Amino acid sequence: MTVRTCLAIVLAAGEGTRMRSALPKVLHAVAGRSLLAHVLGAVAAARCATTAVVVGPHHESVVAEAKRVVPNAECFEQRSRKGTAHAVLAAEAAIARGADDILIVYGDTPFIRAATLTRLRAAVAAGAAVAVVAFRPANPSGYGRLVVEKGKLVAIREEADASTKERASGLCNGGIMALAGAQALSILRRIGQKNRKGEFYLTDAVEMARAMKLDAVAIEVEEDEVRGINTKSQLAEAEAIAQQRLRAKALDAGVTLIAPETVFLSADTKFGKDIVVEPYVVFGEKVIVEDGATVRSFSHLAGAHVGKGASVGPFARLRPGTRLGDGARVGNFVEVKEAAIEAGAKANHLSYIGDASVGAGANIGAGTITCNYDGSEKHRTVIGRDAFIGSNSALVAPVEIGAGAYIGSGSVITKNVPPRALALARGRQVVKEEGATRLRELRSLGKKRKDSSG
């Protein structure tokens, strides 16, 4: 048996007016990943080797996102938005090259599963010219309705064009379709714009196929899979679903989430074994947490790698480029960025560690700040292994603290400190015997004068 070829066309030219945002709709994120990336991921998983993405004018950012996810994706511009069928025809050149199956996926339907795309392809392989994904939403408003006569799919009617009877049908169009490659162009070219909006509706492919005596079939899926995102409320609903799934997946993989409903994950969050995540933690993109680590309440992590048995938080912020070695500890109100904190090193309280490396076993005292930015450039701080940085020290980068060195608290360190050296860099302490008593006396004298003169 020869393997059937497939072209996927992702429609992403919509402005997304209902999102009320300057960002193109498909670039809005669910679980830290753009809607477009979700869809492209499903298409790739359905083993569709060629991908075309239809973008709107001036949507360079959408093209860039498509290429980031699928480097060989071909992008087509739909110059004016005249409807979903018109958008598909923007990729006419790709369709004309010929593929057995043409999958058409809307860029605003992020939960579509590869298995469903495979089912659509199977329906086409079995002889249908058009196969559409259908579902029965709790609230069908806004969706196109499937018109079924004598058990056969004969049309899809957009809500605005539907008769009362058609509208009463709970079976809706999920916005994903497969066309038989051999008939695709003749079906698409027949589609007109006789509807309320005067647009070329892809959904009319069903009626066109019927008119050509070809078969159209529907494949039913759960609502969650084809939830279309047109508004910020729908984006928030989608996020809630995505979070629920990611939490379930983490729990199934053995992660202890004490209060799962308060933990926010990204689609790419990676956990090892025996990890405890306390309530109220946010995982941004690209976080890896290794075996036995603990992430305590109210911490925010993004682009961070947490080593085995390390401890984060409560109230810690790990920004991109953070790497915590095995058993390292980052405590409350500590921010780390572009920095490695090697095995067993500790920064337990109130610190900023940016553009730095902290050697194994080093201790960073409360209030230590790496002054990495001089107002125009960033500089690095290197702290050797087992160094001790006294509380409230400012390390003015570029600067190096040698292994085993000891920095007295309150120091402002501007020059390198050799290994095992002791450095103190703060104003000398002045002590005047009974000075406090004198001060109080002077103050009360001054107050009496003021009272008598006023």
Shortest distance in whole angstroms from residue 385 CB to ligand UD1: 53
Site string (107-126) toward Ca ion, x via CB under 5 A: -x------------------
Backbone phi, psi, residue 199, to 5° = -105, 160
Query: What sign does the dihedral 91-92-97-98 (CA atoms) show?
Result: positive
The DSSP symbol for 57 reads T
What would the two tokens of residue 172 be? 């809706």
Q: Per CB under 6 A, which of residues 385..404 are in contact with ligand UD1? A: none
The DSSP symbol for 315 reads S
Shortest distance in whole angstroms from residue 229 CB to Ca ion: 7
> Which residues share a beta bridge with 351?
334
Report how far residue 363's alpha carbon sits from residue 66's, in angstroms, rounded to the nearest whole number: 44
Using CB under 5 A as the binding criterion, the count of chain residues that bind Ca ion stands at 3
Q: Is 82 in the site for ligand UD1 (CB under 6 A)?
A: yes
With CB under 6 A as the contact rule, the residue among 12, 128, 133, 302 that binds ligand UD1 is 12
Shortest distance in whole angstroms from residue 144 CB to Ca ion: 10
Q: Is 202 in the site for ligand UD1 (CB under 6 A)?
A: yes
Q: Is 228 in the site for Ca ion (CB under 5 A)?
A: yes
Cβ distance to ligand UD1 smaller for residue 209 or 413? 209
Q: Is 161 exposed, middle or buried (0-12, 13-18, 19+ CB in 10 A)?
A: middle
Q: Is 136 in the site for ligand UD1 (CB under 6 A)?
A: no
* Residue 417 · residue 433 · CB < 8 Å: no
With CB under 6 A as the contact rule, the residue among 34, 84, 243, 411 that binds ligand UD1 is 84
Site string (399-438) toward ligand UD1, x via CB under 6 A: ----------------------------------------
User: Three-state SS for 250?
Assistant: helix
Report how far residue 357's alpha carbon sits from residue 365's, in angstroms, rounded to the nearest whole number: 15
Q: How far is CA 241 from CA 43, 236, 245, 246, in A?
A: 20, 9, 6, 9
Q: Is 228 in the site for ligand UD1 (CB under 6 A)?
A: yes
Cβ distance to Ca ion smaller for residue 234 or 409? 234
Q: Is 275 in the site for ligand UD1 (CB under 6 A)?
A: no
Cβ distance to Ca ion smaller for residue 90 or 350? 90
Q: Is 144 in the site for ligand UD1 (CB under 6 A)?
A: yes
Q: Which residues contact 135 (CB under 8 A, 6 or more apart)?
A: 171, 172, 174, 220, 221, 222, 223, 225, 226
Report how far residue 78's alpha carbon sits from residue 72's, in angstroms, rounded to the nearest whole number: 19
Using CB under 6 A as the binding criterion, the count of chain residues that bind ligand UD1 stands at 29
What would the two tokens of residue 339 be? 């920095």
With CB under 6 A as the contact rule, the residue among 193, 230, 332, 348 that binds ligand UD1 is 230
Shortest distance in whole angstroms from residue 87 CB to ligand UD1: 3
Q: Is 143 in the site for ligand UD1 (CB under 6 A)?
A: yes
* Residue 345 · residue 319 · CB < 8 Å: no
Shortest distance in whole angstroms from residue 171 CB to ligand UD1: 11
Q: Is 60 exposed, middle or buried (0-12, 13-18, 19+ CB in 10 A)?
A: exposed
Q: Which residues are catalytic?
A: 349
Cβ distance to ligand UD1 smaller for residue 204 or 335? 204
Shortest distance in whole angstroms from residue 148 CB to ligand UD1: 15
Pairing type for strands 172-180 and 101-106 reads antiparallel
Q: Is 203 in the site for ligand UD1 (CB under 6 A)?
A: yes
Pairing type for strands 216-220 and 101-106 reads unpaired
Query: Tokens 């104003």 map to which residue?
Result: 427
Task: Select from Ca ion, ligand UD1, none the partner in contact with residue 105, using the beta carbon and a kind-dependent cut-off of 5 to 8 Å.
Answer: none
Q: Please state the length of the chain.
A: 454
Report how far residue 321's alpha carbon sits from residue 372's, in angstroms, rounded to the nearest whole number: 15
State how far Cα 201 lies from the chain centre.
31
Q: Is 108 in the site for ligand UD1 (CB under 6 A)?
A: yes
What would the two tokens of residue 188 be? 């698409």
Cβ distance to ligand UD1 smaller for residue 109 or 357? 109
Task: Select from ligand UD1, Ca ion, none the partner in contact with residue 87, using the beta carbon and a kind-dependent cut-off of 5 to 8 Å.
Answer: ligand UD1
With CB under 6 A as the contact rule, the residue among 110, 175, 284, 307 that binds ligand UD1 is 175
CA angle 56, 61, 64 (to 5 degrees): 110
With CB under 6 A as the contact rule, the residue among 11, 263, 310, 336 that binds ligand UD1 is 11
Exposure of 405 in the CB half-sphere (CA atoms within 13 A): 22
Which of the stretches 121-129, 147-155, 227-235, 428-436 binds Ca ion when contact is defined by CB under 5 A?
227-235
Site string (24-63) toward ligand UD1, x via CB under 6 A: ------------------------------x---------
Binding site for Ca ion (CB under 5 A): 108, 228, 230
Binding site for ligand UD1 (CB under 6 A): 11-14, 54, 78, 81-84, 86-87, 106-109, 143-144, 156, 158, 172-175, 201-203, 228, 230
